Amino acid sequence: MTFLNPAMLFGILAVALPIAIHLLSRPRVREFRWAATRFLLASMKKNSRRLQVEDLLLLIVRCLIVALLVLLFARPAWLISSLGLGPRTVPSTTVILLDNSASMGQTDSIRSRFDLGKERATETLSKLLPGSTAALYLVSNHTRALVAKPTADISLLHRQLDLATLSDAGTDLYTGIRVAADVLKASGRGECKIIIFTDSQIPAWGNLSKILQLQEDNKDKFSIQASVLGNSGEDNLAVSALDMVGKVAAVNQPIHCSITVTNWGRKTATKITVKLAADDGNPQDQTTIEQIEPGASRVVSLTVRFRQPGYHSITATIPPDRLLSDNQRSTVLQVIQQIRALVVDGESDRDGLFLKEALAPVAPSKRPDYYLKVSSARPSELDAADLGKNDIIFLSNVAKLSVRSSENLNRYVNAGGALVVFPGPATDLGFYNTDPNFSPLLPAALNPPVDAPANKKYETWQSAPYDHPIASLWNNPDFGSLNTVRFTRFFPLTPRPAVGTNPSPAHVVIKYANGDPAAVEQAVGKGHVIVFGSTGTTAWGTLPIHPAFIPLLARVVAFATSKSDETLNLNPGDSFAYEVASDDEGRDFSIQRPDEKNPRPIGKVEFGEHSGMIRYGDTDNAGVYRVFIGDDATPKVLFAVQGDPAESNLQQEPKAEIDTLLNPAPVIVHDEATTPKADKAASSSSAPGAEFWLPLAIALFALVVLDTAMAHLFSQAK
Amino acid sequence: MSAPDSKQSYLDPDAIARGENLGILARTVVEGYRVGEHRSPYRGFAIEFAQHREYTVGDDPRHLDWKVLGRTDRYYIKQYEQDTNLVMHLLVDGSESMTYGSGRVTKLHYAKALAACLAYLVLLQRDAVSVSLFDTTTREHVVRTDSLGKIHHIMDRLAAFEASEKTDLGVAMEDIARVARARGLVVVMSDLFDDEAGFIKGLRQLRFSGHEVIVFHILDQAEIEFVFDGQVRFIGLEGSPTVELCPADIRKTYLAEIDAMKLRMRQACDTTGSHYVLANTSQPLAEVLSGYLVFRHKVSAR
């Protein structure tokens, strides 16, 4: 036997209290002269032994009551030996990790895996021994504490478990297990274990080796146990991607969206209707996919239009199945009224011809209605031009700029303008690389032009996959390929590091087949600059006449002019941050979540240096969120949370891989903090087990009752 | 009964009134020299014819029944019953134990009042009375008197007496048995917290001497019921030790002891043909006295 609170044993000295009271108490004594003393003496003689026994019994009982009370506070527990002696059940410290990733929403038509996990967790909590403690966490690709520190308040754990909700996030159990391990190292007592309730998706065990290593490193401290929910490879169809093809969303212009539908099941799916709706309205477009083979994806292109500029949402849906969260996917975009593009022709009008035509690829009669208004200028006109009227400026084969023009252009970019540079034969490398106003704008230094290798006669752009958003459209072979764009001559580019006024690193948009950068982009100030390594004319390559040129320019325009697309479409758990006018600073804002009909108050717009800021972090659920400021009826901004496509794959990790987690050996951790020093030598093979406060409490109660009865009985006249 | 503030307080008017109506009657015959209300043990030649007996040598021939002699020629003597007077010996226990009283009245005061009332009643009916106050020996003695005027003297002596010593009831009773030449009525008023054997011996001696004995066993209510609570220190009288105890612890045992003692005293009285009367000092004296006198009247009338 040991004590979980041995310091309380000093309280055993309190046993002396009843004895001291017995010895020292002097009750008030009244005096009487008395004649019949001999009868008193006779009575006392007859009763003295009995009275002594009664007093002694009462004293013993009261001492026992004090001693038992002290023992109760000292929390005695059975000592469990490593030899298996003693009781088999021990109080434990358990950290329950409940997977709340999107895949846990898969139902068996009655209840979801998440509901099943909650039931299992509830059962586990109910089976905990008295004195055991538990903590509770929700895990996906991030960890959320419901009960952060182990507590013996089982009702609190049950309540928190009832309130737990599913998210649409991806899964990575390692982060949660690491948090649980830290909790057990800090607060673990008795047998320590981490119990994971998960559907055991393959992505969840992406860091399985780290998990197993963590278990091995701490095998004497805690065990990790997995409880697998659901079955492997259940049927599931998912909208795994929703992208705007053109990437420029303008009023009254058709917005082409590519929608990827994936069949994650084991059977061929047929007749899948895909619908595309704008702003939660009726579908504007739909199509039917005849069939998708197991494991295969199909991409369909649907179109929507918006009649008003501003923030809008697009939602693609497929018929519901047992995992609802991936049967629709939403994205938010900013629809603009028009974009003004300025093409600066370097040496002649022909330098910008292809660009001007490609930027407004409609008949001249329709150009007034086209969203992209193109104008042209000569480099010398930049001196006095109001560049701020343009959303994007293209420089094509511009040799150099005057100091005033370069200063003007520098201010324009830093103020938020977009600049796209196509060098050419006339390009003055000295100016491009050294001009104090112009060179800092460029995301890459231009090296002297080189010809394509003689054996190939031309250099091509790389093949898929493309990492950068501008080129990612061509990851889908249905849109063709960029590797057929050829160049006979080009400027090798050296991306600039993130220094000085350019805190953002330069990103390679696309590479040549040899791996050298062919186009590089970088955020500069509040604007964006993209530089290509070759011409925007047919002088050195085929890009202007390639089919991809028009969509590529559209994506370039959209990428360079859009300042918020990335911040408007988040992953579950990401924080939303949005700048608003300083007039709104301090005003209340509210958010209408995807699963709610009315906005709920969130807080106040934060005060910023130049503008107000809205921040919101509770983005576990996929869908469209609408942000309202004050009592405004129309949302100030929308943003969308998109679930992890990997969550749609319900394939489970093979059980053999996680065998040690499914059948863990029990681990007993000795509580150093509560081990008396004298016992530490022997403690390596033993640990405190089940507390037995209940029998002591019953004994204490019985003694109190006995004491009361005895006191009453003994106080009767005799 | 009122608190003792003067000698007059010993005479309880209520007790006197009740006693006057009933009178003090000797249950058995007593001998005396005056015509009174009490039957004499002597058969003589007085007014009330009692019986005949045969003449024996030495009889006074004046008492021969001549009529019987004339008719039957036999010699018979006529005997007559003669009334005589009562002599009551009052023995009052004056030991220290009698000074206890849980209320305003001590046992000694109660005994003095009882003695005064009895003396007054006896003198009132022209009988004689003597009073003795004793502890280890006879401390005060009022010689036999039949004068009502002496009642003040008796009360003065009763009032002046202060108790201080232990008791030896047996010696006092033996003294009375030895001193009282004429058989009479001996009334003992005591708490009987004494040597029981000595008391029983004295009782037998009195009875042997032909006295009728009445024992008024005077006890305080606290001594009879022993109702105390809390912790109590009892300071013993007559040299008894001081005892500190919780009365509730021994109450039952104490009451059993007291009851056993009362029973022994009653049995001793019954065995010797004496009367035993338990007097609780919380009871009015008139009640105790009249109760006993009623009982006695009935017995004497048989």
- Residues across chain B: 302
- A618 C-beta neighbours (distance < 10 Å), count: 13
Q: Categorize the per-residue pLDDT at A671 as very low, low, confident or very high, splitting at 50, 70 and 90.
A: very low
Check whether residue A343 and residue A420 sit in a common domain: yes
CA distance B248 to chain A (A): 4
Is B167 within 8 Å of chain A by CB?
no
Q: Categorize the per-residue pLDDT at B300 as very low, low, confident or very high, splitting at 50, 70 and 90.
A: low
Check whether residue B73 and residue B202 sit in a common domain: no
Comparing alpha-carbon positions, the chain A residue that sits nearest to B107 is: A35
Query: For residue A600, which amino acid is it?
Result: R
Check whether residue A34 and residue A51 sit in a common domain: yes
Is A256 in contact with A244 (CB distance < 8 Å)? yes
Query: For residue A177, which amino acid is it?
Result: I
Check whether residue A344 and residue A396 sit in a common domain: yes
Name the interface residues of A facing B (CB cutoff 8 Å): 27-44, 46-47, 51, 715-718
The reply to whether residue A30 touches residue B107, judged by beta carbons under 8 angstroms, is no
The reply to whether residue B251 touches residue A718, judged by beta carbons under 8 angstroms, is yes
Query: For residue B51, which amino acid is it?
Result: Q
- The rounded Cα A665 to chain-centroid distance in angstroms is 32
Check whether residue A497 and residue A594 sit in a common domain: no
| Candidates A40, A715, A716; nearest CB to B243 | A40
Residues in B touching A41 (Cβ below 8 Å) = 240-241, 243
Check whether residue A547 and residue A477 sit in a common domain: yes
pLDDT at A682 over 60: no
Least reliable range by pLDDT among A225-234, A411-420, A460-469, A598-607 = A225-234
- The rounded Cα A527 to chain-centroid distance in angstroms is 29
CA distance B192 to chain A (A): 10
Let me know if residue A679 belongs to a domain.
Answer: no
Q: Categorize the per-residue pLDDT at A75 as very low, low, confident or very high, splitting at 50, 70 and 90.
A: confident
**Could you say which of A276, A305, A335 is where a domain stops?**
A335
Check whether residue B137 and residue B250 sit in a common domain: yes
Let me know if residue A452 belongs to a domain.
Answer: yes
CATH number of the domain enclosing A242: 2.60.40.10
**What pLDDT was estimated at residue A672?**
40
pLDDT at A231 over 80: no
| Candidates B99, B233, B237; nearest CB to A31 | B233
Check whether residue A64 and residue A111 sit in a common domain: no
**A285: three-class secondary structure by DSSP:** strand
Q: Categorize the per-residue pLDDT at B3 as very low, low, confident or very high, splitting at 50, 70 and 90.
A: very low
Average pLDDT over residues A99-127: 88
Check whether residue B167 and residue B258 sit in a common domain: yes
The reply to whether residue B245 touches residue A27, judged by beta carbons under 8 angstroms, is no
Long-range residue pairs from A240-243, CB within 8 A, at least 24 positions apart, any chain: A240/A297, A240/A326, A240/A329, A240/A645, A240/A648, A241/A299, A241/A329, A241/A645, A242/A314, A242/A316, A242/A329, A242/A330, A242/A331, A242/A642, A243/A331, A243/A472, A243/A473
HEC per residue, chain B = CCCCCCHHHHCCHHHHHHHHHHCCCCCCCCCCCCCCCEEEEEEECCCEEEEEEECCCCCCHHHECHHHHHHHCCCEEEEEEEEECCEEEEEEECCHHHHCCCCCCCHHHHHHHHHHHHHHHHHHCCCEEEEEEECCCEEEEEEEECCHHHHHHHHHHHHHCCCCCCCCHHHHHHHHHHHCCCCCEEEEEECCCCCHHHHHHHHHHHHHCCCEEEEEEEECHHHHHCCCCCEEEEEECCCCCCEEECHHHHHHHHHHHHHHHHHHHHHHHHHHCCEEEEEECCCCHHHHHHHHHHHHHHHHHC
Q: Percentage of residues in chain B with pLDDT exceeding 90?
A: 15
Let me know if residue B90 belongs to a domain.
Answer: yes
CATH number of the domain enclosing A530: 3.40.50.880
Chosen from B166, B238, B250 to mutate, greatest number of chain A CBs within 10 A: B250
Residues in B touching A46 (Cβ below 8 Å) = 250, 253
Check whether residue A43 and residue A145 sit in a common domain: no
Check whether residue A229 and residue A282 sit in a common domain: no
Cα Rg, chain B, nearest whole Å: 23
Is B244 within 8 Å of chain A by CB?
yes
- Residues across chain A: 718
CA distance A26 to chain B (A): 10
Let me know if residue B72 belongs to a domain.
Answer: yes
**Could you say which of A563, A595, A612 is where a domain stops?**
A563
Is A175 in contact with A141 (CB distance < 8 Å)? yes
Whole-angstrom distance, CA of residue A557 vs CA of residue A418: 8
- The rounded Cα A136 to chain-centroid distance in angstroms is 17
* B15: CB partners within 8 A, 6+ apart: B113, B117, B284, B285, B286, B289, B290
SS3 of chain A: helix, strand, coil, percent, to 5: 30, 30, 35
CA distance B156 to chain A (A): 26
**What pLDDT was estimated at residue A43?**
86
Chosen from B96, B220, B254, B259 to mutate, greatest number of chain A CBs within 10 A: B254
β-strand partners of A460: A486
Q: Percentage of residues in chain B with pLDDT exceeding 70?
A: 81
Whole-angstrom distance, CA of residue B206 vs CA of residue B200: 10
**What pLDDT was estimated at residue B20?**
59
Check whether residue B99 and residue B67 sit in a common domain: no
Whole-angstrom distance, CA of residue A531 vs CA of residue A549: 15
Whole-angstrom distance, CA of residue A643 vs CA of residue A326: 7
Check whether residue B56 and residue B117 sit in a common domain: no
Q: How many CB pairs under 8 A join A and B?
A: 97
| Candidates B191, B248, B254; nearest CB to A715 | B248
Average pLDDT, chain B: 80
The reply to whether residue A34 touches residue B241, judged by beta carbons under 8 angstroms, is no
Check whether residue B136 and residue B241 sit in a common domain: yes
Check whether residue B197 and residue B105 sit in a common domain: yes
The reply to whether residue A41 touches residue B243, judged by beta carbons under 8 angstroms, is yes
| Candidates B230, B234, B252; nearest CB to A34 | B234
**Domain enclosing residue B247, as ranges:** 7-28+86-301
**What pLDDT was estimated at residue A37?**
85
Comparing alpha-carbon positions, the chain A residue that sits nearest to B253 is: A43
Going across the sheet that includes B87-93, the strands are B138-145, B128-134, B87-93, B185-190, B212-219, B275-280
Is B248 within 8 Å of chain A by CB?
yes
pLDDT in tens, A290-347: 999 998 998 888 889 898 888 999 999 999 988 888 999 999 888 888 889 999 998 8
The reply to whether residue A35 touches residue B100, judged by beta carbons under 8 angstroms, is yes
pLDDT in tens, B26-68: 444 444 434 445 555 544 444 456 678 888 887 888 888 888 8
Whole-angstrom distance, CA of residue B109 vs CA of residue B115: 10
Let me know if residue B146 belongs to a domain.
Answer: yes
Is A422 in contact with A358 (CB distance < 8 Å)? no
Whole-angstrom distance, CA of residue B90 vs CA of residue B189: 8
**Could you say which of B50, B66, B84 is where a domain stops?**
B84
**What pLDDT was estimated at residue A245?**
67
Comparing alpha-carbon positions, the chain B residue that sits nearest to A717 is: B248
Is the backbone of residue A367 left (phi > 0), alpha (psi -120 to 50) or beta? alpha
The reply to whether residue B232 touches residue A44, judged by beta carbons under 8 angstroms, is no
The reply to whether residue A40 touches residue B250, judged by beta carbons under 8 angstroms, is yes
**What pLDDT was estimated at residue B33?**
39
CATH number of the domain enclosing B285: 3.40.50.410
Residues in A touching B107 (Cβ below 8 Å) = 35
The count of structural domains within chain B is 2
CA distance A714 to chain B (A): 8
Query: For residue A57, which amino acid is it?
Result: L
Q: Categorize the per-residue pLDDT at B92 as very low, low, confident or very high, splitting at 50, 70 and 90.
A: very high
Check whether residue A327 and residue A414 sit in a common domain: no
Is B261 within 8 Å of chain A by CB?
yes
Check whether residue A329 and residue A468 sit in a common domain: no
Whole-angstrom distance, CA of residue A460 vs CA of residue A551: 18
**Could you say which of A516, A544, A563 is where a domain stops?**
A563
Check whether residue B179 and residue B45 sit in a common domain: no
pLDDT at A128 over 90: no
Check whether residue A325 and residue A466 sit in a common domain: no
Check whether residue B77 and residue B176 sit in a common domain: no
**Could you say which of B66, B84, B102 is where a domain stops?**
B84
Q: What is the dihedral angle through the alpha carbons of B109, B110, B116, B119, rounded to the nearest 10 degrees? A: -140
The reply to whether residue B236 touches residue A39, judged by beta carbons under 8 angstroms, is no
In this prediction the ipTM stands at 0.74
Residue carrying the six token digits 């023009």: A405
Cis peptide before A594 (omega within 30 of 0): no
Residues in A touching B100 (Cβ below 8 Å) = 33-35
**What pLDDT was estimated at residue A56?**
86
CA angle A601, A602, A607 (to 5 degrees): 125
Check whether residue B126 and residue B61 sit in a common domain: no
| Candidates B100, B243, B250; nearest CB to A718 | B250
Average pLDDT over residues A559-576: 79
Residues in A touching B254 (Cβ below 8 Å) = 39-40, 43
**Domain enclosing residue A21, as ranges:** 2-74+691-714
Residues in A touching B261 (Cβ below 8 Å) = 39
Residues in A touching B245 (Cβ below 8 Å) = 40, 44
| Candidates A35, A41, A46; nearest CB to B237 | A35
pLDDT at A564 over 90: no
- The rounded Cα A615 to chain-centroid distance in angstroms is 15
Let me know if residue B196 belongs to a domain.
Answer: yes
Let me know if residue B201 belongs to a domain.
Answer: yes
Let me know if residue B1 belongs to a domain.
Answer: no
Is B239 within 8 Å of chain A by CB?
no
Q: Categorize the per-residue pLDDT at A684 as very low, low, confident or very high, splitting at 50, 70 and 90.
A: very low
Check whether residue B268 and residue B279 sit in a common domain: yes
**A450: three-class secondary structure by DSSP:** strand
The reply to whether residue A32 touches residue B234, judged by beta carbons under 8 angstroms, is yes
CA distance B84 to chain A (A): 41
Residues in B touching A29 (Cβ below 8 Å) = 230-233, 244
Check whether residue B158 and residue B73 sit in a common domain: no
DSSP 8-state symbol, A367: G
Is B64 within 8 Å of chain A by CB?
no
pTM for the model stands at: 0.52
Check whether residue A461 and residue A506 sit in a common domain: yes
Whole-angstrom distance, CA of residue B155 vs CA of residue B16: 14
The count of structural domains within chain A is 5
| Candidates A38, A39, A718; nearest CB to B249 | A718
